[in-house]
Amino acid sequence: MAEARSRKKKKKTSAYWIHFEETFENGISIVKCILPGCAFKQAFSRTNSTLRGHLNEFHQEELAKLEMPRDFDRKFTQEQKKKLLRKTVVTIILENVAPNKFHGKFFKSMMHDIQSNWEAPSYETINNIIDQIYDELFIIVKDIVSKIKYFCQMSDGWKSKAGDHFYEVGIFFVDGNWKLREVHLELKRRDEEHITAEVLAKWYKSLYSKFGIEEATIVEVIDGGSNIFPSLMTKKR
C-alpha cells in the first residue's frame, strides 16, 4: 500500500500520459490507453518506453503530434507537414470554430504566426479532409456502439436563424467500464420543416443498420413531437 501511495504522489511529467490513465484492478496498478476504441491495458511500468511503444504501433498520428516540436523537421517532408497541419486545423475548426471563419482575417493572421507561408486550403480541400476525418471516426464509433445491447436515443429538429431545418439523432449508453457515453450518430439538413413519422422511421432504420445496433433495445426520450413516437413503433422495444 505504501508503494501504491508513493506512486500516486509521483507526478507524471511525460507527454505520453495524455493518452493514458492509471487505475487499480484487484489491488494491482494498471495502465490503460484512453484513446477512442482502444482496449490496451497492462501492469503499471515506471518507464515511458511502454507508452511510446503502444502509440508507435497503434496510434502513429497521435505520437507524431506529441513529438512534433522536436521531430517535426526530421520526420516529415514539406508536403507531409502541410497535410498534417491542414488536418489539425480542420479538426480544431470542427470542434471549436464556425467553418465560415476559416478564411477570415483573424484566423489567417493567427496561422501566419504559426507558419509564415501558410495558405488557407480551398473549401473543396476542407470538405475532403472532413470526409477523411469522418471515415476514420466512423470506424472507431461503430466498433464501440455495435457491441452495446441497450441505449437511450434522443432525436430532435430545429430551425436556424438563416431558416435552415436540421434533424439530429444521438444515443446514450453505459459502456463496459460503467461510464455513461454519448454518441451523435447523424446530423442532417432537411428541406422539410416537419418530417413525417414514416420518413423518420426509415432514417432511424438506416442508422441502426449503419452502426450495427439494429438488434439493440431502445428507449427514446422525446420533447412531445407528434412524429417521433410513431416513427419508433417499428423498432424492437
51-83 per-position pLDDT tens digit: 888 888 888 878 877 766 555 555 567 777 777
Whether 71 is in a domain gets the answer no
Show which of 126, 141, 156 is a domain's final residue.
141
The count of domains in the chain is: 3
Q: Are residues 83 and 137 in the same domain?
A: yes
Give residue 233's pLDDT: 56
Q: What is the mean pLDDT of residues 151-166?
A: 83
Greatest mean pLDDT among 7-21, 34-48, 115-129, 131-145 lies in: 131-145
Q: Are residues 23 and 53 in the same domain?
A: yes
Give the confidence band of 7 by pLDDT, cuts at 50, 70, 90: very low
Whether 67 is in a domain gets the answer no
Whether 50 is in a domain gets the answer yes
Q: Are residues 164 and 198 in the same domain?
A: yes
Task: Decide: pTM greater than 0.75.
Answer: no
Give residue 2's pLDDT: 43
Whether 65 is in a domain gets the answer no
Q: What is the mean pLDDT of residues 18-32?
A: 84
Give the confidence band of 225 by pLDDT, cuts at 50, 70, 90: low
Q: What percent of the chain has pLDDT over 70?
A: 70
Domain at 159, CATH number: 3.10.20
Q: What span, in angstroms and rounded, lies between the C-alpha atoms of 115 and 121?
A: 14
Give the confidence band of 223 by pLDDT, cuts at 50, 70, 90: low
pLDDT exceeds 60 at position 12: yes
Whether 236 is in a domain gets the answer no
Give residue 210's pLDDT: 93
Give residue 209's pLDDT: 92
Instruction: Dig out the grid coordinates for 98 from the structure.
Output: 464556425
Give residue 9's pLDDT: 47
Q: What is the mean pLDDT of residues 83-111?
A: 68
Whether 69 is in a domain gets the answer no
Q: What is the mean pLDDT of residues 143-153?
A: 89
Give the confidence band of 5 by pLDDT, cuts at 50, 70, 90: very low
Q: Are residues 152 and 223 in the same domain?
A: yes
Whether 224 is in a domain gets the answer yes
pLDDT exceeds 60 at position 237: no
Q: Are residues 175 and 221 in the same domain?
A: yes
Give residue 70's pLDDT: 53
Enclosing domain of residue 46: 2-6+14-60
Whether 91 is in a domain gets the answer yes
pLDDT exceeds 80 at position 204: yes
